């Protein structure tokens, strides 16, 4: 059994490390307590050390915070846990929201075609962010974001001109694999509604203790049939047909940033 580690981008070089050496680094994936939150209200805990986004989750914060469940069926058929099972952890510093996602997926389907066409049909993690939890429509504006984080490491959303665009500077992600278990580690910058997709000078919003944001997270699962077969999320209900998140941030859950 091997751990494949490296960037999710197309140009990555894969380094193979045996799962035994993975355990010796004291970064083995801990099962721990998995907390179910029907209302989608979560806490993120402040890290006291720099988190290196490498898809390994070796920092001490990841061993000390709870797993949250990402298994509410939003779309598709009920799936067996051997086909899909998802959970995630949350952390933060003043510059980033960090997310560690663990997914059991018996078949990881790469992003289709050029990474933009039919981007919701390949396997991906979708992260919904509303920086000030003000809610409202965000389909073709940046009141909120629905980042489709692809297997290639792209963060995909819609532009103000209704185009599909990469917002890769907003989300850094690395993914590793042990068997059918995938670990996605992300660092996400928070932006408010003044974000300009055509500017290089956007300033991220600083994160502080007791800040509250709108948030949900989900996984789109494609088992090779050229479509999203299941959509599994962190909150029991996500609007009409559980598919309002990419349009309406009113349906998001939340994250409270805490230092304890």
pLDDT (tens digit per residue) in 97-128? 999 999 998 878 776 556 677 777 778 999 99
Q: Are strands 67-69 and 34-35 parallel, antiparallel or unpaired?
A: parallel
Per-position pLDDT tens, the chain of length 260? 334 444 455 433 333 323 333 333 333 334 467 999 999 999 999 999 999 999 999 999 999 999 999 999 998 888 888 788 999 999 999 999 999 999 998 878 776 556 677 777 778 999 999 999 999 999 999 999 999 999 889 999 999 999 999 999 999 999 999 999 999 999 999 999 999 999 999 999 999 999 999 999 999 887 666 666 788 999 999 999 999 999 999 999 999 999 97
The position carrying tokens 């510059």 is: 95
Name the average pLDDT for the chain: 86
Q: Give the contacts of 243 (CB within 8 A, at least 6 positions apart).
A: 74, 75, 231
- In whole angstroms, give the CA distance from residue 225 to residue 17: 31
- Closest-CA residue to 247 (of 219, 216, 221): 216
For 140, the token pair is: 């073709």
Which pLDDT score is estimated for 222? Answer: 74
Q: What local confidence, expressed as pLDDT, does residue 190 receive?
A: 98
Q: Cα dist. 157→7, 40, 154, 160 in Å?
A: 20, 22, 10, 10
If residue 64 lies in a helix (H) or strand (E), which one and from where to where? Answer: helix 60-64
pLDDT at 189: 98
Nearest residue to 9 via CA among 170, 134, 172: 172
In terms of DSSP bridges, do strands 212-221 and 230-233 run parallel, antiparallel, or are they unpaired? Answer: antiparallel
Question: How far apart are the C-alpha atoms of 198 and 60, rounded to whole Å?
Answer: 37
The span from the first CA to the last CA of the chain, in angstroms, equals 37
What is the rounded distance in angstroms from the CA atom of residue 203 to the CA atom of residue 183? Answer: 29
For residue 119, what pLDDT is reported?
78
**What is the per-residue pLDDT for 205?**
98
- CA-derived radius of gyration, the chain: 17
Helix H or strand E encompassing 3: strand 2-5
CA distance 185 to 177: 12
Q: 112: how many CB neighbours lie within 10 A of its CB?
A: 18
3-state secondary structure of 21: helix
The pLDDT of residue 13: 33
CB 32 within 8 A of CB 246: no
How far apart, in whole angstroms, are the C-alpha atoms of residue 178 and residue 188?
24
């Amino acid at each position: 059994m091997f751990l494949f580690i490296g960037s999710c981008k197309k140009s990555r070089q894969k380094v193979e490390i045996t799962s035994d050496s993975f355990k010796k680094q004291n970064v083995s994936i801990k099962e721990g307590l998995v907390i179910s939150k029907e209302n989608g209200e979560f806490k993120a805990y402040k890290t006291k050390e720099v988190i290196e986004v490498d898809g390994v989750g070796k920092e001490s914060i990841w061993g000390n915070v709870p797993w949250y469940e990402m298994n509410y069926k939003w779309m598709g058929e009920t799936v067996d846990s051997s086909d899909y099972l998802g959970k995630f952890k949350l952390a933060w510093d003043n510059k980033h929201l960090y997310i560690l996602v663990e997914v059991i997926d018996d078949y990881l389907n790469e992003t289709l075609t050029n990474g933009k066409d039919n981007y919701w049909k390949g396997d991906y993690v979708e992260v919904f962010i509303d920086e000030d939890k003000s809610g409202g429509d965000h389909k073709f504006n940046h009141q909120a974001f629905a980042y489709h984080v692809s297997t290639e490491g792209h963060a995909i959303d819609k532009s103000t001109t209704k185009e599909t665009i990469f917002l890769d500077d907003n989300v850094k992600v690395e993914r590793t694999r042990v068997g059918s278990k995938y670990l996605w580690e992300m660092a996400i910058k928070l932006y408010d509604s003044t974000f300009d997709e055509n500017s290089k000078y956007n300033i991220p919003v600083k994160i502080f203790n007791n800040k509250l944001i709108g948030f949900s997270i989900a996984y789109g699962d494609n088992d090779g049939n050229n479509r999203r077969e299941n959509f599994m999320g962190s909150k029991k209900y996500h609007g009409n047909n559980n598919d309002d998140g990419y349009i309406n941030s009113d349906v998001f859950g939340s994250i409270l940033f805490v230092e304890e």
